[in-house]
Structure 1
Amino acid sequence: MDLSFSREIVITSVLSVEPWIVPWTAKTIVQVILLWIASFWFVGSWIVPFLAYTAGFIKEYLTYRGHALYSLLTDVAEGVVGIALLHRCLAKFKPLSPDWFKFELKGKWQFDVGLGCLMFPVINQLSLVNLNLLPVLQSTPVSNTISVVEQSIVARDPVAMALYAVVVSVCAPIWDEIVFRGFLLPSLTKYMPVWCAILISSVAFALAHFNIQRMLPLVFLGMVMGSVFIRSRNLLPSMSLHSLWNAFVFLDLMK
């Protein structure tokens, strides 16, 4: 099938999709997003470090594998708390219509995921464009977490690398897709056209990463994943695409 024709099919189906039935207002939308971001920060920066310190674990003295396990447990804790908050905020609106937070294997969404993967080189180019637009920030020191990941890769510790791979290719796609594609994007269709909801939710997704050097590629990635999600109203395709992108970046880092 001609690639340009395939893109036209995807664009047409995205523009013609029906908005979701959204029982909550903008107040709930803002509340959920702010609580989600705050909970990730609070759990990752305060709760988990405090519990680790109380249990006698000092992060600075952990091995590569210890750091990787710490990162995995932190990510799981952040995600579980975030999902619990989302559930609590939406509890009074249940039961929701069947097309909310849907996970289905059936359907022809694999084609959309494959088409989305063809956008990876474009996302890579946008990363370079973003860095060229903000050259001063290229010298900004990376965080300790990234440094430890890179050290583990250099050391070729297979267990540590496997644990980090689970964090970036399994955990992160699940949490991000549930809130940004599963909740935020459909919620926004109550107030704006679908294409605009895809754009706004993608900008929010990029901002939530707190990395100005990655804004352009993250916004574009969010738009691709949003389009894939909209086509099927199914979170599994966007999660799969998100996972493949993160795996692609992680494998590239390992070179």
Structure 2
Amino acid sequence: MSSTSCLAPPPLRLPCRRVRLPPPSAAVGATVAAERPSLRFKPRGAAPTKGWRLVHISCFRQEQDVSTSDDGINFEYNEQAEISEDSDLKEEDGGSPNRDDQNYVNGYWFDRAQKMKENLQETIFRFWNGRWAVPWTGQTIAQVMFLWIATFWLVGSWIVPFLAHAAGFSKETLTHRGQALYSLVTDITEGLAGIAILHQCLGRFRPLPPGWFEFKLKGKWHWDVVLGCLLFPLVNLLSHINISLVHMSSGPVAGVSGVEQSIVARDPVAMALYAVVVTVCAPIWEEIVFRGFLLPSLTRYMPLPWSILLSAAAFALAHFNVQRVLPLIFLGVVMGGVFARSRNLLASIVLHSLWNGFVFLDLMK
């Protein structure tokens, strides 16, 4: 081959387009020039709607075969597709929408009921098997509770009265404000003693596993507290039932006589001091001991619901008041449930404080 010879470039291949042909009426009389290459249409894919078939225009001479005719643009009307579409529309129109809608509604509510059932079962299972990682044994649990009860009794019955006597006064001779201050000092001392016992007995297990003695502001524990507050009337009803069962005398209720006396006297300072005692001090250290330590520790040996019930019974007995055993057990169960659900001591402390405030306001009526 000489250097002057060259190869002809391949013929230009234009991109093919898909076109939609007009209806038969518009195509009548259409002609195509003789010099144009004849176009052959091939069916491509599924037939479109309204009976027309999408065709492929051959744009290249190489794709033409010898049998191409010069009759112009050819088209084909797909009557079968239109008939099939009309039959489908008739079937849809002739159906029973009411029955289909009813079946859909029934299926929807059935699915919702199934999901609710599964969620409830999962919640109960998780609640029943909810446990803390307890690094100590029952011996440590008994040791802490025994030391706490002994310290509680010694501080309230011996240590604080002895210090008051050494200072030259006794509780019986104090005014309403003096008795309120005396109760505040006693409660703070008992709380600090209980925290010191926990610190000393659990010191060898540090660092504690996650979930112990947690105070968290974040989370949805506020709603648990609200639900717990809705049960306050039931706790109050149990209190009246308990009092009627033990045939309580007409005297003042033990443990709140000083509060009642200050309310009767309308001493604002004494009432404020008692409010701090019952709504701040007592809820903090009681929840740390019973919900923060005892309840999680019991999950080492029993399921969570039994741990809540047993810790609630210990909480009621620690108040040394037979007239309030039933309401305190129920209240302990409610606060234990709130704590177990939120794993947050702040939730049970707030609920405890609100209950004591509810009782305090009820006494002021």
User: After TM superposition, is the score higher than 0.5?
Assistant: yes
CA distance in 1, matches of 2:136, 2:341: 23
Matched, 1:128 2:243: no
> Residue in 1 aligned with 2:146?
34
> Residue in 1 aligned with 2:249?
138
Amino acid at match of 2:249: Q
> Residue in 2 aligned with 1:114?
226
Q: Which one has the bigger helix percentage?
A: 1
Amino acid at match of 2:349: M
CA offsets, 1:2-49, max 9 Å, x none? xxx9xx79x748725530000111111111111111101101111111
> Residue in 1 aligned with 2:343?
233
> Residue in 1 aligned with 2:5?
none
Partner SS state of residue 132, structure 2 = coil
CA distance in 2, matches of 1:202, 1:13: 21
Amino acid at match of 2:210: P
Name the count of aligned residue pairs: 247
CA distance in 1, matches of 2:171, 2:244: 35
Contiguous gaps of at least 5 residues in structure 1: none
CA distance in 1, matches of 2:285, 2:141: 16
Moved over 6 A (4+): none
TM-score normalised to structure 1 length: 0.92
Matched, 1:102 2:214: yes
Matched, 1:243 2:360: no
Contiguous gaps of at least 5 residues in structure 2: 1-115
| 1:57 positional shift | 2.3
Q: How does 1:1-255 map to 2 (within 5 A)?
A: 12=124, 15-16=127-128, 18-135=130-247, 137-139=248-250, 142-143=253-254, 146-255=256-365
Is the 8 Å Cα contact of residues 151 and 194 (structure 2) preserved in structure 1? Answer: yes
CA offsets, 1:35-83, max 9 Å, x none? 1111011011111111111112222221111110011001001110111
Amino acid at match of 1:138: S
Distance 1:161 1:220, change over 3 A: same
TM-score normalised to structure 2 length: 0.65
Partner SS state of residue 206, structure 1 = helix
CA distance in 1, matches of 2:155, 2:302: 33
CA distance in 1, matches of 2:237, 2:337: 20
Partner SS state of residue 41, structure 1 = helix
Is the 8 Å Cα contact of residues 339 and 347 (structure 2) preserved in structure 1? Answer: yes
RMSD (CA atoms): 1.9
Identity of aligned residues (%): 67
Distance 1:54 1:225, change over 3 A: same
Partner SS state of residue 88, structure 1 = helix
Mean Cα deviation higher: 233-242 or 14-23: 14-23
